[in-house]
């Protein structure tokens, strides 16, 4: 008796026999379908990839707030500046990654906490994508995915060097990063939102209500 | 058969709706084609293009009617139809209806290539514009779905109507939204059709225009019938009537 | 004497009488229509992207066996367990078995229409496993004890007032007010703990990536990640047509999907899930299961519906459908409503049960115009009508009517006198050019006047004119 798997694959074979069989060149054909993809995707507003990324992320379609600093060592004060003036005392939870943990957070006017649920998370994205204004996280030992989703405010540092032009450029970069595929590759584009009730947009449906992105020109190890 | 002739032989397919419900449209088409320099013939044994059968899934019946029409019209230089949906039936769907009949397929393709909806024929093939026409009134235009989506008819009726002196054409909100006729749909699913045409009627009234025009009698009868039931004063006629100088005649559903 | 009204027509009529529903439909689908138009207008490469999207899907469908095997191999290599389900019952059973093996008492679900298709909510309830819907709209639908009415906005049939009433009754802590932001905040609060204490998280898949064995989910809320990261087990249910060759191909289709569905350019959360948690990962599920579901898709392949397998579930077709916009989703009585639903439902439920769906359509073609992968929906719907006719499913009145019409139309010598008589007969019912009632025309005249025909037909008038001019 055939297993479900065998039956389904057989049914596919039977159906395909009535159509053209594709032969051995499936991968070739798939590759060909990506040729000239530039004509099928939006063009960036300018050749300045980082500038385009920042404009899109801060624009109405993404709705993040954006900042840029010269080096990673300036991150704590940039975070402190962003959080200054908030009524709640700013307790931040850092993504447990060495570049962030090794910074001097003492003078920034923030305190360090453990509970990220409905709190403030500070994370370090590996890539940014200018086409969409996305920041990208890959799960790992020092990148818990839940941090990005449980917080109410997500502050994300992203290396300028890691900002690519298009989604396809990220796909290429991820493939050639030399790492094994992660459990989760998360492309985050703005804060959580929903239009499920009458099509009216509300932020913070389950994920964070606010996303603040800080582009860092130097100091993040590759 | 000389398609470059200065006086092409045109077979006029009036459509069953025009034949039955509003011959004026047929005579308007006749007049326009003659004014556009065509030699027009009306095969007297024409009946129906088969679209109601085709859209009901009765493909065999549709194929019978397709073969009949092909036989009646394929000898002309052009076949012209005052209806986007019937023209599309011939131009786009005859090859589907006759898919299993290779001999007829070639003839269907041949006929499709020279079949035209009336207003697009006048503008795109004959470069015709009416002259010396005047109709001082406000009008609005409904783009029937088949003509619009299957045949790309949109600019042509407006170009023709623009040549009518004194005719103010106002844009219709949702001009490209279906009116809910859909052939047998309007009687099979009458309640849904009514809801759809109710919105169309409201949109027409919203323009403040006195006259509703379009290129397909089915849509026009459907909308006219709803407007009338609602007590509207808006008159409805086929655009060809206005362009043929018959715009002062009775509207659809008026005594005449 | 009243004839039994078929269920579709009575459901449609009930929907037509529901003014609140109409408001809800216009606010959501009407809004979506406008937003899509803006997004497409802002994307000049959209027509080229659409052609490419169609080509990619057609390529996958033409090589479905190849991609299924490649996906399975790569998924297994990444540590996932891959299951195959021929039918909806088999798919649900597999999911329940995995849940039971995991000792699951509580399951969270992110939105999956495929999950609805296979009857997963009901299966979970029957198995006594607590089901927590995390997508806001599915949460609303669950609290209301209803089913989704749109594939992108499952609760589009609900007004804000109705949602407020629901939340006030069902949330552990009542919303702060009836304003939409407070309703959303209330749902966020109500669901937060459940996310973190679920044993199993079940998601769908927007795409299955063949060359990595990864599964792609897209959400605006972030509930997919909250559903699939905390629990020990993550189960994906996906139709076999969701395959794409690589991430790059997924991106090409995502550019079409989001604009067509919501008018955004990209969803807030686009995540690729590949295998379970790695040994060093900070979080993630320990088990990752993928259930590949056929449920009629291979039949579609072989029976002239391959083009329907291009569908990327954007919902644009129903947003632009004049019928859907009047009756909403529930009237269709099926998992999938609107034009795409009317093509799919006869496959899933059988034509005999659902032949009203492909017929309740004007064939106006707007759906095909907005479909981001160029599915010829009117052609496929007409194809179902053709099958329905051949199987004798259409009512006798319709078959007789069309048959008689066709007979006369094929015999012009009979047609001419018959039409002449009809015209004279119809005019008997005319008052001032209008017919407000006549026998056999009830469907028309119930709602509209019928314009009285002219005195004689075009052909007879033309013939008379020719004779007159020849004298």
CATH of the domain at A156: 3.40.50.10420
Q: Is the pLDDT of residue C21 over 80?
A: yes
Q: Which of B248, B249, B180, B244 is nearest to B27 (CA)?
A: B244
pLDDT at C177: 95
- Given the candidates 3.30.750.210, 3.40.50.300, 1.10.10.10, 3.40.50.10420, the CATH classification of the domain at C8-158+199-298 is 3.40.50.10420
**How far does the CA of residue B169 sit from the closest CA of chain C (Å)?**
24
Give the count of beta carbons closer than 10 Å to the beta carbon of residue C387.
Answer: 17
Number of domain units in chain A = 2
Q: Which of C299, C277, C300, C280 is nearest to C288 (CA)?
A: C277
Between B and C, how many residue pairs show a Cβ–Cβ distance under 8 A?
206
pLDDT in tens, C48-63: 999 999 999 999 999 9
Given CB atoms, is B58 within the 8 Å cutoff of chain C?
Answer: yes
C4 phi and psi angles, rounded to 5 deg: -55, 120
Which of C360, C388, C454 is facing B22, going by the closest CB pair? Answer: C454
With beta carbons less than 8 A apart as the criterion, state whether C63 and A26 touch: yes
pLDDT in tens, B111-157: 999 999 999 999 999 999 999 999 999 999 999 999 999 999 999 99
Suggest the residue from C34, C363, C446 to mutate for an interface test with chain B (most B CBs closer than 10 A). C363
Given CB atoms, is A182 within the 8 Å cutoff of chain C?
Answer: yes
Tell whether A146 and A104 lie within a shared domain: yes
**How far does the CA of residue C82 sit from the closest CA of chain A (Å)?**
10
pLDDT at B1: 45
The residue ranking higher by pLDDT, B194 or B100, is: B194
Decide: helix, strand or coil at residue B207. Answer: helix
Which of A15, A29, A196 is facing C137, going by the closest CB pair? Answer: A196
Residue A40 lies in a domain: no
Q: Please state, in angstroms and as integers, the Cα–Cα distance from residue B6 to each residue in B36, B37, B110, B125, C380, following that order.
A: 10, 7, 21, 12, 42
Looking at chain B, the domain(s) classified CATH 3.40.50.11810 span 130-243
Interface of A with C in 73-112 (CB under 8 A): 96
pLDDT at A17: 67
Return the beta strands (E) in chain B as ranges.
9-12, 39-41, 78-81, 115-117, 134-142, 165-170, 211-214, 235-238
For residue A176, what pLDDT band results from cuts at 50, 70 and 90?
confident
Q: What is the mean pLDDT of residues C419-434?
A: 86
pLDDT in tens, C120-131: 999 999 999 999
pLDDT at A18: 53
Do A199 and C153 make contact, defined as CB atoms within 8 angstroms? yes
Range of the domain at A51: 46-218
Q: How far apart are CA C288 and CA C229, in angstroms?
A: 10
Suggest the residue from A39, A197, A204, A210 to mutate for an interface test with chain C (most C CBs closer than 10 A). A197
Decide: helix, strand or coil at residue B113. Answer: helix
pLDDT at A24: 61
DSSP B122: I
pLDDT at C1: 34
Distance from CA of residue C144 to its chain's centroid?
20
Residue in B with minimal Cα distance to C325:
B196
- How many residues would you count in chain A? 222
pLDDT at A1: 79
Tell whether A144 and A176 lie within a shared domain: yes
For residue C442, what pLDDT band results from cuts at 50, 70 and 90?
confident
Tell whether A85 and A139 lie within a shared domain: yes
pLDDT at C440: 72
Given CB atoms, is A146 within the 8 Å cutoff of chain C?
Answer: yes
Q: Please state, in angstroms and as integers, the Cα–Cα distance from residue C45 to each residue in A149, B181, C40, C41, following that order.
A: 33, 34, 9, 10
Q: Is the pLDDT of residue A124 over 70?
A: yes
Structural tokens at position C114? 């495929």
pLDDT at C71: 98
Do B193 and C447 make contact, defined as CB atoms within 8 angstroms? yes
Residue in C with minimal Cα distance to B193:
C323
% chain B with pLDDT above 70: 98
Cα atoms found within 13 Å of the Cα of residue C435, Cβ hemisphere only: 25
Q: Which residues sit opposite A216 in a β-bridge?
A: A69, A159
Name which of A187-201, B36-50, B67-81 the model is least confident about: A187-201
Tell whether A89 and A141 lie within a shared domain: yes
pLDDT at B15: 97
For residue B34, what pLDDT band results from cuts at 50, 70 and 90?
very high
Do A7 and C195 make contact, defined as CB atoms within 8 angstroms? no
Which of B21, B185, B187 is facing C453, going by the closest CB pair? Answer: B21
pLDDT at B256: 56
Name which of C230-234, C387-391, C405-409, C436-440 the model is least confident about: C436-440
Q: What is the mean pLDDT of residues A144-163?
A: 97
For residue C471, what pLDDT band results from cuts at 50, 70 and 90?
low
With beta carbons less than 8 A apart as the criterion, state whether B253 and B247 touch: no
pLDDT in tens, B42-66: 999 999 999 999 999 999 999 999 9
Q: What is the mean pLDDT of residues A149-171?
A: 97
Within 8 A of C283 by CB-CB distance, chain A residues are 139, 144-146
pLDDT in tens, C409-419: 999 999 999 98
Q: How far apart are CA C409 and CA C419, in angstroms?
A: 10
For residue C2, what pLDDT band results from cuts at 50, 70 and 90?
very low
pLDDT at C323: 98
Which of B55, B176, B229 is facing C382, going by the closest CB pair? Answer: B55
% chain C with pLDDT above 90: 88
Name which of A7-16, C246-255, C361-370 the model is least confident about: A7-16
Q: Is the pLDDT of residue B2 over 50?
A: no
Given CB atoms, is B163 within the 8 Å cutoff of chain C?
Answer: no
Q: Is the pLDDT of residue A121 over 60?
A: yes
Q: Is C400 exposed, middle or buried (0-12, 13-18, 19+ CB in 10 A)?
A: exposed
Round the average pLDDT of chain B to a whole number and report it: 96
Tell whether A177 and A74 lie within a shared domain: yes
Q: Is the pLDDT of residue A84 over 80?
A: yes
Residue in A with minimal Cα distance to C283:
A144
Output helix, strand, coil percentages for chain B, rounded to the nearest 5. 50, 15, 35
Q: What is the mean pLDDT of residues A141-169?
A: 97
Q: Is the pLDDT of residue C428 over 70?
A: yes
pLDDT in tens, C301-350: 999 999 999 999 999 999 999 999 999 999 999 999 999 999 999 999 99
Suggest the residue from B15, B23, B212 to mutate for an interface test with chain C (most C CBs closer than 10 A). B23
pLDDT at A22: 56
Tell whether A78 and A24 lie within a shared domain: no
pLDDT at C455: 87
pLDDT at A107: 86
Interface of A with C in 2-41 (CB under 8 A): 3-5, 7-9, 11-16, 18-20, 22, 26-27, 29-30, 33-34, 37, 39-41
Fold of B4-124: Glutathione S-transferase Yfyf (Class Pi); Chain A, domain 2 (1.20.1050)
Distance from CA of residue C421 to its chain's centroid?
46
Q: Please state, in angstroms and as integers, the Cα–Cα distance from residue A198 to each residue in B83, C7, C133, C157, C162, following that order.
A: 40, 28, 19, 9, 11
Rg for chain C (alpha carbons), in Å?
26
Round the average pLDDT of chain C to a whole number and report it: 94
Round the average pLDDT of chain A to a whole number and report it: 93
**How far does the CA of residue B16 sit from the closest CA of chain C (Å)?**
9
Given CB atoms, is B80 within the 8 Å cutoff of chain C?
Answer: no
Which of B26, B58, B253 is facing C406, going by the closest CB pair? Answer: B58
Which of A14, A145, A205 is facing C229, going by the closest CB pair? Answer: A145
Tell whether A149 and A56 lie within a shared domain: yes
Which of C222, C254, C278 is facing A206, going by the closest CB pair? Answer: C222
Looking at chain B, the domain(s) classified CATH 1.20.1050 span 4-124
% chain A with pLDDT above 90: 81
pLDDT at A88: 65
* Burial readout C339-372 (b: 16 or more C-beta within 10 A, e: otherwise): bbbbbbbbbbeebebbbbbbbbbbbbbbbbbbbb
For residue C3, what pLDDT band results from cuts at 50, 70 and 90?
very low
Residue in B with minimal Cα distance to C412:
B45
Do C447 and B228 make contact, defined as CB atoms within 8 angstroms? no
Instruction: Please name the helix (run of DSSP H) or strand (run of DSSP E) that holds residue C119, with its range, or none.
Output: none
Tell whether A181 and A124 lie within a shared domain: yes
For residue A221, what pLDDT band results from cuts at 50, 70 and 90?
confident
Q: Is the pLDDT of residue A9 over 70?
A: yes
CATH 3.90.25.10 corresponds to the domain B130-243: no
For residue A177, what pLDDT band results from cuts at 50, 70 and 90?
confident
pLDDT at B119: 98
For residue A46, what pLDDT band results from cuts at 50, 70 and 90?
very high
Touch between chain C and chain B: 3 or more Cβ pairs under 8 Å: yes
């Amino acid at each position: 008796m055939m297993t479900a798997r065998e039956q389904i694959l057989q049914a596919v074979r039977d159906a395909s026999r009535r159509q053209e069989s594709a032969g051995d060149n499936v991968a070739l054909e798939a590759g060909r379908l990506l040729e000239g993809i530039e004509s099928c995707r939006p063009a960036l507003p300018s050749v300045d990839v980082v500038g385009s990324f920042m404009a899109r992320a801060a624009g109405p379609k993404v709705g993040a707030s954006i900042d840029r600093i010269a080096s990673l060592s300036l991150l704590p004060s940039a975070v402190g500046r962003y959080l200054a003036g908030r009524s709640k005392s700013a307790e931040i939870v850092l993504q447990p990654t060495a570049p962030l943990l090794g910074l001097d957070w003492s003078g920034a006017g923030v305190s360090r906490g453990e509970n990220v649920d409905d709190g403030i998370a500070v994370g370090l994205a590996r890539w940014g994508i200018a086409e969409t204004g996305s920041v990208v996280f890959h799960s790992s030992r020092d990148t818990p995915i839940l941090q990005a989703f449980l917080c109410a405010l997500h502050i994300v540092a992203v290396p300028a060097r890691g900002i690519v032009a298009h989604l396809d450029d990220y796909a290429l970069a991820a493939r050639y990063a030399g790492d094994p595929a992660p459990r989760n590759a998360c492309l985050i584009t703005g804060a959580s939102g929903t239009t499920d009730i009458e099509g009216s947009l509300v932020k913070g449906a389950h994920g964070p209500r606010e996303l603040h992105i800080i582009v860092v020109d130097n100091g993040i190890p590759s | 058969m000389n398609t470059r002739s200065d006086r092409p032989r045109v077979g006029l397919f009036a459509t069953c709706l025009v034949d039955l419900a509003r011959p004026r449209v047929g005579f308007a088409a006749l007049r326009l084609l003659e004014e556009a320099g065509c030699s027009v013939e009306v095969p007297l044994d024409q009946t129906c293009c088969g679209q109601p059968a085709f859209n009901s899934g009765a493909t065999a019946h549709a194929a019978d009617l397709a073969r009949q029409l092909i036989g009646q019209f394929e000898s002309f230089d052009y076949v012209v139809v005052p209806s986007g949906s019937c023209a599309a039936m011939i131009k786009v769907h005859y090859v589907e209806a006759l898919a299993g009949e290779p001999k007829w397929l070639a003839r269907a393709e041949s006929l499709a290539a020279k079949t035209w909806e009336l207003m697009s024929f006048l503008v795109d093939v004959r470069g015709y514009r009416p002259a010396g026409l005047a109709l001082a009134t406000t009008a609005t235009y409904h783009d029937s779905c088949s003509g619009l989506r299957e045949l790309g008819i949109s600019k042509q009726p407006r170009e023709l109507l623009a040549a009518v002196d004194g005719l103010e054409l106002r844009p219709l909100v949702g001009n490209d939204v279906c009116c809910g006729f859909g052939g047998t749909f309007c009687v099979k699913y009458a309640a849904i059709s009514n809801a759809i045409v109710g919105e169309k009627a409201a949109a027409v009234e919203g323009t403040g225009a006195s006259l509703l025009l379009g290129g397909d009698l089915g849509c026009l009868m459907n909308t006219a019938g709803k407007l009338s039931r609602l007590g509207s004063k808006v008159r409805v006629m086929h655009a060809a009537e206005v362009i043929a100088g018959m715009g002062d005649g009775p509207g659809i559903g008026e005594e005449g | 004497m009243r004839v039994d009204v078929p269920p579709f027509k009575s459901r449609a009529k009930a929907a037509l009488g529901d003014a609140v529903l109409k408001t809800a439909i216009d606010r959501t689908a009407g809004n979506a229509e406008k937003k899509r138009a803006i997004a497409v207008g802002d994307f000049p490469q959209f027509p080229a992207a659409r052609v490419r999207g169609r080509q990619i899907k057609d390529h996958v469908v033409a090589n479905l066996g190849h991609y299924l095997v490649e996906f399975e191999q790569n998924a297994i290599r990444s540590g996932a367990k891959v299951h195959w389900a021929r039918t909806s019952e088999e798919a649900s059973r597999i999911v329940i078995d995995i849940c039971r093996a995991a000792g699951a008492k509580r399951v969270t679900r992110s939105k999956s229409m495929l999950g609805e298709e296979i009857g997963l909510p009901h299966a979970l309830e029957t198995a006594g496993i607590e089901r927590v819907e995390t997508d806001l709209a599915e949460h609303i639908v669950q609290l209301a004890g209803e089913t989704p009415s749109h594939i992108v906005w499952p609760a589009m049939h609900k007004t804000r007032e109705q949602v407020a009433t629901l939340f006030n009754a069902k949330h552990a802590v009542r919303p702060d007010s009836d304003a939409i932001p407070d309703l959303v905040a209330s749902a966020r609060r109500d669901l937060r703990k459940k996310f973190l204490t679920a044993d199993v998280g079940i998601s769908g898949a927007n795409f299955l990536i063949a060359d990595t064995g990864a599964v792609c989910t897209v959400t605006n809320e972030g509930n997919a990640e909250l559903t699939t990261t905390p629990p020990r087990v993550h189960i994906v249910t996906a139709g076999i047509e969701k395959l794409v060759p690589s991430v790059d191909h997924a991106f090409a289709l995502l550019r079409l999907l989001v604009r067509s569905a919501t008018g955004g350019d990209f969803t807030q959360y686009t995540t690729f899930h590949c295998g379970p948690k790695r040994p060093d990962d900070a979080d993630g599920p320990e088990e990752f299961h993928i259930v590949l579901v056929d449920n009629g898709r291979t039949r579609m392949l072989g029976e002239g519906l391959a083009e329907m397998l291009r569908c990327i579930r954007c919902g644009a077709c129903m947003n632009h459908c004049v019928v859907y916009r009047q009756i909403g989703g529930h009237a269709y009585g099926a998992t999938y409503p609107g034009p795409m639903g009317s093509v799919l439902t006869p496959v899933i439920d059988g034509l005999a049960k659902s032949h009203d769906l492909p017929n309740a359509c004007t064939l106006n073609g707007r759906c095909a115009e907005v479909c981001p992968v160029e599915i010829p929906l009117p052609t496929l719907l007409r194809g179902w009508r053709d099958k329905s006719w051949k199987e004798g499913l259409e009512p006798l009145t319709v078959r007789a009517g069309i048959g008689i019409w066709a007979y006369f139309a094929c015999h012009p010598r009979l047609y001419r006198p018959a039409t002449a008589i009809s015209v004279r007969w119809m005019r008997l019912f005319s008052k001032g050019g209008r017919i407000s009632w006549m026998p056999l025309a009830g469907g028309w005249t119930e709602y509209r006047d019928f314009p009285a025909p002219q005195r004689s037909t075009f052909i007879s008038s033309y013939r008379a004119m020719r004779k007159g001019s020849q004298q």
